Homo-oligomer: A and B are copies of this chain.
């Protein structure tokens, strides 16, 4: 069953709200997430239910079906592969991705997706450190750790962030912290929890406890 770009956006939203949750998703939640009005959400839920992507009972909330989950993972895969392309190949920065990947995630064909995946070297994680579903919707475990939890002398590779607000991402760019950067913990300051990092064996950078808690890394 084929979905329009708008339908894809709703499905993706429903799925993403559903993963971190047991119960059903409410109309208001979805409206807030998708920056639209509850009435528009209701309209769309009917369409998605008719296409078999979600289970929807009036006034009772909504959840994705097996088919819907599969589709949502496919859309997510498309988006994340394009994001890897934008960052790794075109060297765009984290805060420049959203608008473009919103558009690109709806562009695909099976062949394009396969070739893009191959071209990018079958990446397992997106630029934010989140796992990319493979063709079968399976995802790798992500052994990421907040760098706050690293010890002095430990080194790692930045693979993501917890907070992807524009202001935080801009701060990171300014501080020389980017996806793929190698870091070494030079020091941890006891009284305020701040840390001193060595980035790419070159740049020394102090970061606060709060920042350290929001940057994720793979430990070597």
Contacts and interface: CB of A to CB of B under 8 A. Distances in A.
A90 B103 contact: no
Interface in A70-104: 86, 89-92, 96, 99-100, 103-104
Interface string A171-215: 000000000000000000000000000000000000000000000
Total identical chains: 2
B115 A91 contact: yes
A109 interface: yes
A89 B111 CA distance: 13
A3 interface: no
A107 B100 contact: yes
Contact of A109 (B99, B107, B116): B99
A46 B86 CA distance: 37
Contact of A90 (B100, B106, B107, B119): B119
A103 B82 CA distance: 14
Contact of A89 (B91, B109, B119): B119
A104 B116 CA distance: 14
Q: Place the interface of chain A in its size category.
A: 10 to 19
A193 to B, nearest CB: 36
A6 B97 CA distance: 24
A31 to B, nearest CB: 24
A119 B89 CA distance: 7
Contacts of A96: 109, 111
Interface string A39-50: 000000000000
For the complex of A and B, 7 pairs with smallest distance between CB atoms: A90-B115, A103-B107, A90-B119, A104-B107, A100-B112, A89-B119, A90-B116
Given A92-B111, A96-B109, A96-B111, 15 more contacts: A86-B112, A89-B119, A90-B112, A90-B115, A90-B116, A90-B119, A91-B115, A92-B112, A99-B109, A100-B107, A100-B112, A103-B106, A103-B107, A104-B107, A107-B107
